[in-house]
């Protein structure tokens, strides 16, 4: 049970709702942001997490492919992309080059490839369908989680197809699920200031809802800790919660910490670690219909990601390998983001949790609580 002694009546009311399985309101959520102590929101989040998942913490064996950092959009918070007009400063991978990356993992127990990148005008719907087909032909068992709603919106509009038509085309080519990137902050007041030229909230939500209707699961994100206010975070999470009520298609929610290195918002201070943990905890409390809450460890750093396991988080993402540059280029804690399976398992065990290797859809592959790491599978290089 949650200790409510000494709490204000309105906070006790929220604790009662949590313990009796009732949904908290937007006003309750705002109260938690404004008046809930770190210890209080953490205890509520941990209660919910353990009710949903026990002491399990999930991870998977994955690697990233980033086809390009050349992009037609100019998001103020982005340290990663290079405008198409300055593409000589970026990279553009061919299908052969990307298949070379896939083949690097032949014979290794990877279960997922995660493909996201900039929005390149010459990398169109057919190009990416050909890439997915090539991956599936080479390694049929590999789950492909690919492209943000921002990428989909551009490639579908360019191809003059509907969202449903475009997604069906890519599903037929091998698409397995969709990552949650590009959501940023849904509220137009903030979106207009930080990423005005890319798909809006309604477009992002439509793409994910259509994917869910077609049987494709997805993730959801929110970029926090910049110029948004608590009300904007709540608006964002409410829209996600409402969509999840309709479709049940989201696997996990991933709060993404704004990093201010090398971008047009470098003057905006980053959130504190305490605020980060409060964000994770309150997200776990508010998003009662999301089965999982993920901490993206390359962004937070290993120690802070480990700390988040006490604030409602039950997923550490994956081994990642060292191929993702989106956050390292913005000054993230991990500049060479790769962890072996053994390192991830140890990190989770140190937090007194049970490490569970999963696939993309959270089917359990291995419980590491009492098993020693298989020496032949521990290191991914």
CATH value at residue 129: 3.20.20.70
Query: Residue 83: pLDDT band by 50, 70, 90 thresholds?
Result: low
User: Does the residue 69 lie in any domain?
Assistant: yes
User: Does the residue 19 lie in any domain?
Assistant: no
Q: Give yes or no for a contact between 42 and 277, defined as CB atoms under 8 angstroms apart.
A: yes
Query: Residue 335: pLDDT band by 50, 70, 90 thresholds?
Result: very low
User: Does the residue 323 lie in any domain?
Assistant: yes
Is residue 75 predicted with pLDDT exceeding 70? no
* Least confident segment among 69-83, 189-203, 337-351: 69-83
**Nearest-CA neighbor of 60 among 366, 279, 346, 274?**
366
Q: What average pLDDT does range 343-361 have in this prediction?
A: 94
**Nearest-CA neighbor of 107 among 67, 65, 138?**
138
Chain centroid offset of residue 1 CA? 30
Is residue 330 predicted with pLDDT exceeding 80? no
Is residue 187 predicted with pLDDT exceeding 70? yes
Cα 344 from Cα 319, distance rounded (Å): 7
Is residue 376 predicted with pLDDT exceeding 50? no
CA atoms within 13 A on the CB side of 329: 13
DSSP state of 50: H
What pLDDT, on a 0 to 100 scale, did the predictor assign at position 53? 95
Q: What average pLDDT does range 239-263 have in this prediction?
A: 92
Distances (CA, A) of 215 to 131, 158, 206, 210, 366: 21, 24, 14, 9, 25
Q: Which domain holds residue 184?
A: 57-367
Is residue 109 predicted with pLDDT exceeding 70? yes
3-class SS at 37? coil
**Nearest-CA neighbor of 50 among 348, 365, 289, 314?**
314
Q: pLDDT higher for 83 or 235?
A: 235
User: Does the residue 21 lie in any domain?
Assistant: no
Please give, one letter per residue, the 3-state secondary structure of 246-289. Answer: HHCCEEEEEEEECCCCCCCCCCCCCCCHHHHHHHHHHHHHHCCC
Is residue 226 predicted with pLDDT exceeding 60? yes
**Nearest-CA neighbor of 18 among 63, 49, 56, 53?**
49
Query: Residue 262: pLDDT band by 50, 70, 90 thresholds?
Result: low
Counted domains in the chain: 1
User: Does the residue 151 lie in any domain?
Assistant: yes
The mean pLDDT of the chain is 88
What pLDDT, on a 0 to 100 scale, did the predictor assign at position 88? 54
Which residues have C-beta within 8 Å of that of residue 158, sequence separation ≥ 6?
A: 121, 124, 125
Q: What average pLDDT does range 273-302 have in this prediction?
A: 94
What pLDDT, on a 0 to 100 scale, did the predictor assign at position 331? 43
3-class SS at 98? helix
Cα 138 from Cα 141, distance rounded (Å): 9
* Least confident segment among 24-28, 83-87, 92-96, 336-340: 83-87
Is residue 381 predicted with pLDDT exceeding 50? no
Give Dmax over CA atoms of the chain in angstroms. 63
Q: Of 3-7, 82-86, 207-211, which has the strongest mean pLDDT? A: 207-211
CA dihedral for 225, 231, 236, 242, sign (positive or negative) = positive
What pLDDT, on a 0 to 100 scale, did the predictor assign at position 16? 96
DSSP state of 223: E
User: Does the residue 192 lie in any domain?
Assistant: yes
Which residues have C-beta within 8 Å of that of residue 161, sequence separation ≥ 6?
A: 125, 169
Query: Taking phi first (over 0 means left), then psi (-120 to 50 degrees means alpha), and beta for anything else, what does residue 321 get?
Result: left
Stated pTM of the model: 0.89
Which residues have C-beta within 8 Å of that of residue 33, sequence separation ≥ 6?
A: 230, 233, 234, 278, 282
Q: Enumerate the H helices of the chain as residue ranges.
A: 9-19, 26-35, 38-53, 95-103, 125-138, 149-159, 163-173, 188-194, 201-213, 230-247, 273-286, 297-300, 302-307, 341-350
Q: pLDDT higher for 300 or 218?
A: 218
Q: What average pLDDT does range 249-276 have in this prediction?
A: 87
User: Does the residue 362 lie in any domain?
Assistant: yes
* Least confident segment among 32-46, 55-69, 162-176, 257-271: 257-271
Residues 48-58 have pLDDT tens digits of: 999 999 999 99
Q: pLDDT higher for 288 or 121?
A: 288
User: Does the residue 48 lie in any domain?
Assistant: no
Q: Of 125-139, 180-194, 294-308, which has the strongest mean pLDDT? A: 125-139
Is residue 149 predicted with pLDDT exceeding 90? yes
* Least confident segment among 135-144, 150-159, 214-223, 372-381: 372-381
* Least confident segment among 164-168, 195-199, 264-268: 264-268
What pLDDT, on a 0 to 100 scale, did the predictor assign at position 78? 60
């Amino acid at each position: 049970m949650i200790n409510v002694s000494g709490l204000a009546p309105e906070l006790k009311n929220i604790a009662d709702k949590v313990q009796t399985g009732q949904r908290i309101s937007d006003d309750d959520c705002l109260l938690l942001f404004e008046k809930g102590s770190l210890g209080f929101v953490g205890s509520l989040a941990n209660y919910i997490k353990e009710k949903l998942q026990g002491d399990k913490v999930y991870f998977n064996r994955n690697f990233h492919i980033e086809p390009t950092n050349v992009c037609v959009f100019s998001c103020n918070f982005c340290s990663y992309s290079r405008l198409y007009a300055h593409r000589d400063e970026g990279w553009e991978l061919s299908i052969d080059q990307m298949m070379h990356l896939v083949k690097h993992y032949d014979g290794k127990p990877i279960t997922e490839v995660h493909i996201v990148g900039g929005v390149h005008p010459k990398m169109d719907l057919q190009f990416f369908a050909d890439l997915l087909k090539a991956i599936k032909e080479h390694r049929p068992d590999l789950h492909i989680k690919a492209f943000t709603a921002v990428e989909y919106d551009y490639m579908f509009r360019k191809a003059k197809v509907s969202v449903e038509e475009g997604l069906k085309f890519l599903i037929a080519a091998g698409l397995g699920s969709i990552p949650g990137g590009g959501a940023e902050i849904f509220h137009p007041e903030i979106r207009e200031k930080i990423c005005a030229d890319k798909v809006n909230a309604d477009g992002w939500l439509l793409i994910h809802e259509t994917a869910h209707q077609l049987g494709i699961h997805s993730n959801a994100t929110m970029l926090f800790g910049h110029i948004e206010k608590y009300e904007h975070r709540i608006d964002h999470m409410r829209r996600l919660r409402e969509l999840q009520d309709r479709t049940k298609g989201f696997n996990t929610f991933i709060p993404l910490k704004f990093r201010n290195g090398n971008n047009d918002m470098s003057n905006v201070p980053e959130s504190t670690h305490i605020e980060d943990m409060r964000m994770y905890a309150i997200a776990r409390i508010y998003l009662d219909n999301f089965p999982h809450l993920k901490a993206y460890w390359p962004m937070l750093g290993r120690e802070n990601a480990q700390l988040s396991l006490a604030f409602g988080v039950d997923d550490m993402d994956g081994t990642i390998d060292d191929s993702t540059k989106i956050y390292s280029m913005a000054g993230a804690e991990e500049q060479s983001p790769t962890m072996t399976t053994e390192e991830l398992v140890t990190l989770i065990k140190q937090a007194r949790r049970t490490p569970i290797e999963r696939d993309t859809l959270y089917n359990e592959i291995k419980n590491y609580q009492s098993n020693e790491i298989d020496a032949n599978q521990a290191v991914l290089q």
